[in-house]
Amino acid sequence: MTPSSRAQAPTAEAKGAGTGNAGWLARYTDAVMNTFGTPSRVLVRGSGAHVWDADGQEYIDLLAGIAVNCLGHAHPAIVEAVSTQISTLGHVSNFFTTPAQVGLAEELVRLTFPDHPAHDSRVFLANSGTEANEAAFKIARRHGGSRRPRVLALQDAFHGRTMGALALTYKAAYREPFEPLPGGVEFIPAGDVEALRTALGPDVAALVVEPIQGEAGVRELPAGYLEAARELTEAAGALLIIDEVQTGMGRTGAWMAHHLLAPGIVPDVVTLAKGLGGGVPIGAVVASGQAAALLEPGQHGTTFGGNPVACAAALAVIGTIRSQSLLERVQQLGSAWSRELAVVDGVNQVRGRGLLLGVGLDDGLPPAAEIAAALAARGFIVNAPRPDTIRLAPPFILSDDDARAFTTTLSEVLDRALSEKAGS
């Protein structure tokens, strides 16, 4: 199946009384802070792996809200769970808990640390990945105290845009407008065991890593690095914090990417978000051992963390991934699709695991952002984290036909770009 404009026409209300994309975008620029730049389109409806804009154009969504809508759009399991929960109990303060919150925490402990004693682990529920990483940073500070003021992060890391998470994020363009940031963070080369060994010392509180660096162009840490990081941090008395915000909850074909890349290691802290709620805002910190008890009453909190509606959505996501064998589906589709993409003219490499893929483009092609725009014009939503990389992070329920349609269209777009280059 290829995208078409044979969509149910949006209602007048959805189109902004007939204004379509152009009208809504004009209103957007007058009302919304310019923190992301002006969007290219206004989406009004989604079903499965497909979305429609305010002009009625259909797209195959291969970005899924940047690895968020893991079950696609309007999945019946999430719709039912959210509808049932919000019609029963929509929110409580942190003076209380709910069955959904407790049940989700128990599930996350089992999924994150399957071979570790459950009684040794605890969960903090937040609203996003940056909130989860902010909490993890505070856990590192509680562990280190004044004796261990240093926190190590990796070059090309992205951990969020709030002040603590931003301090752990490498890109200068993100960091510099907000300096001075929380201090003590040092960046070391990603994947370099000797650099890590040299940087670690008795004054280091934690090492924070992403198993696959999404904003770096979907680049996986080299084999053996996570095992070495666990061994070295443990010997130095530092925490190992693994950011699974983009890679966790089945995105790579395993519940956690570190389960796939470094089976058997037990990090001290794992952070989650994005696909956890399937489109409903939620984040989580899952900690084991001593790290699970470092935050005491009053030392951290968030009004909406553990909201029962968000927790119900997350439980529905987990249950659906299990019942529909979607981990196996992600592995199968990701492997087959990677092989097909790798032989497209103009593609020099396909990186990543499962359904988190970085399609590397040949030198001399237009910047990846221009290729992404051309693909959007043909009905496919992707993004370009680097000038030479297209990122794919589609719903787990993406069909084989839709994946093949993208491969064909990418080949056509790159062929045209190569032809234009040859004729110039």
| Residues marked as catalytic | 158, 243, 274
- Known binding residue 246? Answer is yes
- Known binding residue 102? Answer is no
Q: For the chain, what percentages of helix, strand and coil (3-state, to nearest 5) are there?
A: 40, 20, 40
- Known binding residue 243? Answer is yes
For residue 341 the two structure tokens come to 């993409």
Q: How far is CA 247 from the centre of its chain?
A: 6
- Known binding residue 130? Answer is yes
| Cis peptide bond upstream of 180, omega within 30 | yes
Write a three-state SS string for 286-333: EEEHHHHHCCCCCCCCCCCCCCHHHHHHHHHHHHHHHHCCHHHHHHHH
Measured CA to CA, the distance from residue 182 to residue 168 in angstroms comes to 9
- Known binding residue 84? Answer is no
Name the nearest CA neighbour of 1 among 417, 399, 320.
Answer: 399
Contact 10, 44 (CB under 8 A): yes
- Known binding residue 37? Answer is no
Looking from the CA of 229 toward its CB, the CA atoms found within 13 Å total 32
Query: CB under 8 Å to 79, separation ≥6 — which residues?
Result: none
- Known binding residue 245? Answer is yes
- Known binding residue 158? Answer is yes
Residue ranges for the known binding site for pyridoxal 5'-phosphate are 129-130, 158, 243-246, 303
Residue ranges for the known binding site for N(2)-acetyl-L-ornithine are 161, 302
Residue ranges for the known binding site are 129-130, 158, 161, 243-246, 302-303
